[in-house]
Structure 1
């Protein structure tokens, strides 16, 4: 029941719907040093280079961008250097859409798969899309279909890596969110192909998106939660529980243990003269169990299976020598010994 004021107006604020945008939920989507260290550190580097691109010396900025470009000429001279250096810049600076997508998409992927896998997807999309667009240019120049100036052009940015992470993230979401993300991503790729302002980038974005989608099988069920569950596994008990149909009362049938050793029920006499039977191939455990049964049999069944009480002399044939009594009798007959044993 809602509280109302004297005028009849409700004092309780209406509840927000499940899809309402809350500031706390938006803040949790941002990268943090402890939750998403890869995205957080990478975002700081991109923020610094973006600020320098917008407010630094123009001549120096242009020189750095030319040296970081992944054009065909630089790929032939120093491929590893330019592939890494080109991913340190955001095409468009601080106001680029891909800068915002990097913060939201890459951090969401890292929370689900970890920093190492997220970095691998980002780098894989960046490298494959770059090679898939620049190597055909080099081949066309070598064949004489493009001018030599096509080997030297500006090609840098994080858009290929962001597209690959978008495709990978879609495979980890629910059905509705999955197709929504993929629909928006393919819409952006289609817009680039329609405008065709930069042919290489326009074809590189769908290639990077398909690269991220190809990683779905490698990312599912292999995140930090699965690894922690595997580390926290507890080994089973050393002694197996009883199987169905096994009894524990006196006269119960034999109980079969895992390991190949047949165990007698309580009160059951050992078969075949006191030797326990082995079921299956128990290996070393079966040999150890046989030795234990043999020692137990020898202790519990001396003198042909008849054991007397402690302190009572065993029944032996013939006369039983005793110490000479005061009346001079030297020994007693078997009947006396039997009578003595009968009175125990």
Structure 2
């Protein structure tokens, strides 16, 4: 006699029902739902077996730092260009001083001495041709284009021109250069006439841009805060004191102080113009 096993007669429950009856047994995961993205179009693809998993980053994500860096460099170059274009008087004058400095350095010493003599704003030249000699005197910088006064020229006049414009900056420089020269040379001529100084004082060698730079510094100080203003005025006033105390070149020392005072005297007008330009 043949006996049937219970498995032959008992109906089998569906797999899903059995899994639901067993607590703690996780269901088998089916295939991942389709995302609608074709393989190779930016979505990750998982192959069967040991094939590597590849993922493509969103397009353009890695280019952001390069773009930002290039944009920052462009803005920085644009700012420097605008600043340079904003001080044409200072740049043009600096170029002229660079040329005359090269002449003074590499030309024949006798020729350079003759040019300096012809550009000297002494009493004798001022009596014969005041305008040409005053203009020629401002074409030279003592010590060359790399001297401290040349550096101060660029910094002071550039800052002043950016605040009040090129024409007004040129006016301040010219006022200091001309008025301080006349204020120091006229007393020399009177002293020679009175017999207090020898006749050789009428031919004293005097040229350069220092009076104009001092006047521009005095004007610029009126646009600064209290501490920078005091430091700038003290710097230029202190540079004139050794010539006055040692009597090495008192006329030049007085000329620097007078030109500095000329710049300070223009504070009311300069502040009005500087404030309007800044606004």
Q: TM-score, normalised by structure 1?
A: 0.56
Structure 2 unaligned blocks of 5 or more: 1-75
Give the corresponding residue for 2:99. 48
Equivalent residues of 1:31, 1:103 under 8 A apart: no
2:254 paired with 1:211: no
2:135 paired with 1:92: no
2:150 paired with 1:135: no
Give the corresponding residue for 2:272. 221
Partner Cα separation in structure 2 for residue 220 and residue 158 of structure 1: 24
Q: 1:217 to 1:141 in 2, by over 3 A?
A: same
Partner Cα separation in structure 2 for residue 91 and residue 51 of structure 1: 12
Shift of 1:183: 1.9
Give the corresponding residue for 2:225. 174
Partner Cα separation in structure 2 for residue 185 and residue 152 of structure 1: 27
More helix by share: 2
Q: 1:94 to 1:222 in 2, by over 3 A?
A: closer
Give the corresponding residue for 2:165. 114
Q: 1:63 to 1:119 in 2, by over 3 A?
A: same
2:206 paired with 1:155: yes
* Higher relative contact order, chain-length normalized (CA < 8 Å, sep 6+): 2
Moved over 3 A (4+): none
Give the corresponding residue for 1:334. none
Report SS of the residue matched to 2:248: coil
| Residue of 171, 196, 203 corresponding to 2:247 | 196
- RMSD value, Cα: 2.2
Partner Cα separation in structure 2 for residue 105 and residue 228 of structure 1: 17
Deviates more, 1:196-205 or 1:104-113: 196-205
Partner Cα separation in structure 1 for residue 243 and residue 149 of structure 2: 14
Structure 1 unaligned blocks of 5 or more: 1-23, 230-344
Report SS of the residue matched to 1:92: coil
Equivalent residues of 1:39, 1:103 under 8 A apart: yes
Give the corresponding residue for 1:83. 134
